[in-house]
Amino acid sequence: MASVRRLAAIPADLAGFSRLLGMDEEGTHGDGYLAEFASVVDAVRCAIEVQRGMTERNASTAEDSRIAFRVGVNLGDIIVEDNDIHGDGVNIAARLEAIAEPAAAACPRTPTAKCAEKSTLSFPISASGT
């Protein structure tokens, strides 16, 4: 069982999933996802694009059917084994996701600063901690 070390993780949670599930139990498949990236800039870019896409989708959707993700982005060691991702980097990203506001992303200051240095990304991401 080989393992591979990666750097960035993004867990996302669907805010209000229980409400949406009650509306259409057959049409739902779960309330979140976890993605890993070799680059924190790519991870933050993905978080921004997901949130932008949901904002565009929600603009023409009835308020009670809108979807809002909470996203956590972390730069840290994660371990990829078979079809599983785990490690401190994932655990911290999950904690960040839990404190993110619906339709927003939470990211420690270090990855946010790295993205500011290397990219022209512009979208509100809350920086917390170091």
Q: What is the pLDDT of residues 82-97, one digit of tens each?
A: 888 888 888 888 888 8
Look up the pTM and report it.
Answer: 0.70
Residue pLDDT, tens place only, 52-91: 998 999 999 998 888 888 888 888 888 888 888 888 888 8
CATH number at residue 103: 3.30.70.1230
Distance, in Å, from the CA atom of 9 to the CA atom of 78, rounded to the nearest integer, reads 7
Tell me the residue range of the domain where 35 lies.
Answer: 3-128
Strand partners, 7: none
- pLDDT category at 20 given cuts 50, 70, 90 is low
In the chain, the number of structural domains is 1
Alpha-carbon Rg for the chain, nearest whole angstrom, is 15
In our burial notation (b when 16+ CB lie closer than 10 A, e otherwise), range 99-111 reads: ebeebbbbbbeeb
Distance, in Å, from the CA atom of 128 to the CA atom of 130, rounded to the nearest integer, reads 7
